[in-house]
Amino acid sequence: MFPPKLKQDKNGTHFSISRYLDPKLVERLDLNERDEVLHALVDLLDHQGKLKDKEAFFQAILEREKIVSTGIGMGVAIPHAKLPGYRDFFVAIGVHPKGIVWESLDGVPVRLVFMIGGPDDKQTEYLQLLSHLTLAIKDEERRKKILQLTDPEEMMALFRGI
């Protein structure tokens, strides 16, 4: 089951997605449309001081959705935007118990949204974050547990060591 062992990068250091997660960036959602969900998570990031320009970030998220849906399947979406002026990556998690239409690749309504934001000049770190996150959410038991939990701290514990 989980968590898998920490993987070492080429420098022999461990990469862990848990360092990008924050219990203050977890929100249970009861909205009806994809763009409402995106806006709610952008608002959450902005209220927590993560965004330099809320509107620019929101527009970048929407532009990314126009290229191809970030609904990757399994009831999960990973909207993301990389912009100049950011030092670090961050992840907001939205949990929608009922699911929402997202034009996902598999047509399944999205129940878990992992919104990633950060710098546009750290492609390797971004790909590591995306890869580790994708690996973590492929675990069906982890996805089910996230949907059941109401305590953000407990959700964060599901990602320790990944």
Cite the active site residues. 80
How far apart CA 92 and CA 38 sit, in angstroms, is 10
How far apart CA 141 and CA 132 sit, in angstroms, is 16
Cβ–Cβ < 8 Å for 73, 106: yes
> Residue 52 has which token pair?
């330099």
How far apart CA 85 and CA 52 sit, in angstroms, is 8
* Number of other CB atoms surrounding residue 125 within 10 Å: 16
Contact partners, residue 19, CB within 8 Å, separation at least 6 = none
Q: Are strands 90-100 and 110-119 parallel, antiparallel or unpaired?
A: antiparallel
> Residue 160 has which token pair?
């320790």
Q: Are strands 26-28 and 90-100 parallel, antiparallel or unpaired?
A: parallel
